[in-house]
């Protein structure tokens, strides 16, 4: 076993767990989930069947990740954030064949208590504010907040709000990386 798990964690048969991953108290990894290397699965986390987490994904306490969700490498899932997987759930109506896919792309961060409504991808290095309710696709590098979540700015790969000049360029104050804003999309240029 190349990963570590607290004795209270429940790991069902048929899970794939990468080297160096740590699984904490009272978490449940269900059959068929795939967890990458060097992940951290916090306390009281549920990872449903067929969920895929890339390498170095940080899942904070009390997070529910339901079937249909895939997180690429270096994603951060804040405390108590939740994903849905059916757009119109009803207790008396079985909709297991209607799970919608949600892709959280590389480096994205989802804040505490945020809700991601299924079927909406989260862009690379996007930043979802605490308590936000995401009801549509989030572009790369976007900062979204509120209910429903609305874009209020752009973030660097290091998690700093970008200030774009008249030339449409911005520099991350921590990394020195340069970004360009054009046609309401941000790309890293250096």
- DSSP per-residue string spanning 41-76: E-TT-EE-TT-EE-TT-EE-TT-EE-TTEEE-TT-E
CATH 3.40.50.300 is the classification of domain 1-155: no
For the purposes of burial, counting CB atoms within 10 Å of the CB of 59, is it exposed (0-12), middle (13-18) or buried (19 or more)? buried
From residue 103, how far is each of 106, 136, 148 by CA, in Å?
Answer: 10, 12, 19
| Phi, psi dihedrals of residue 144, rounded to the nearest 5° | -125, 140
Q: Please tell me the predicted confidence (pLDDT) of residue 1.
A: 74
Mean pLDDT of 105-123: 98
The SS3 of residue 88 is coil
Tokens 């270096």, located at residue: 74
Rounded percentage of the chain residues whose pLDDT exceeds 70: 100
Residue 160 banded pLDDT, cuts 50, 70, 90: very high
Comma-separated ranges of CATH 2.160.10.10 domains in the chain: 1-155
pLDDT in tens, 29-60: 999 999 999 999 999 999 999 999 999 999 99
pLDDT in tens, 173-190: 999 999 999 999 999 998
Give the residues across from 76 on adjacent strands: 58, 109
Mean pLDDT of 159-175: 98
For the purposes of burial, counting CB atoms within 10 Å of the CB of 174, is it exposed (0-12), middle (13-18) or buried (19 or more)? exposed
Mean pLDDT of 99-114: 97
* Res 6 pLDDT > 80: yes
């Amino acid at each position: 076993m190349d990963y570590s798990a607290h004795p209270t964690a429940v790991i069902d048969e048929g899970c794939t767990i990468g080297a160096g991953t740590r699984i904490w108290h009272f978490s449940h990894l269900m059959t068929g989930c795939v967890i990458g290397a060097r992940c951290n699965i916090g306390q009281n986390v549920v990872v449903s069947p067929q969920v895929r987490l890339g390498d170095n994904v940080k899942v904070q306490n009390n997070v529910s990740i339901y079937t249909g969700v895939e997180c690429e490498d270096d994603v951060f899932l804040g405390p108590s954030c939740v994903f849905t997987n059916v757009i119109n759930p009803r207790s008396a109506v079985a909709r297991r064949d209607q799970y919608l896919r949600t892709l959280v792309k590389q480096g994205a961060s989802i804040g505490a208590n945020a809700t991601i409504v299924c079927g909406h991808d989260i862009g690379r290095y996007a930043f979802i504010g605490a308590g936000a309710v995401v009801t549509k696709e989030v572009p790369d590098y976007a900062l979204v907040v509120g209910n429903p979540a609305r874009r209020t700015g752009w973030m660097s790969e290091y998690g700093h709000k970008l200030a774009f000049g008249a030339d449409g360029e911005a520099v991350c104050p921590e990394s020195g990386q340069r970004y360009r804003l054009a046609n309401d999309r941000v790309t890293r240029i250096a």
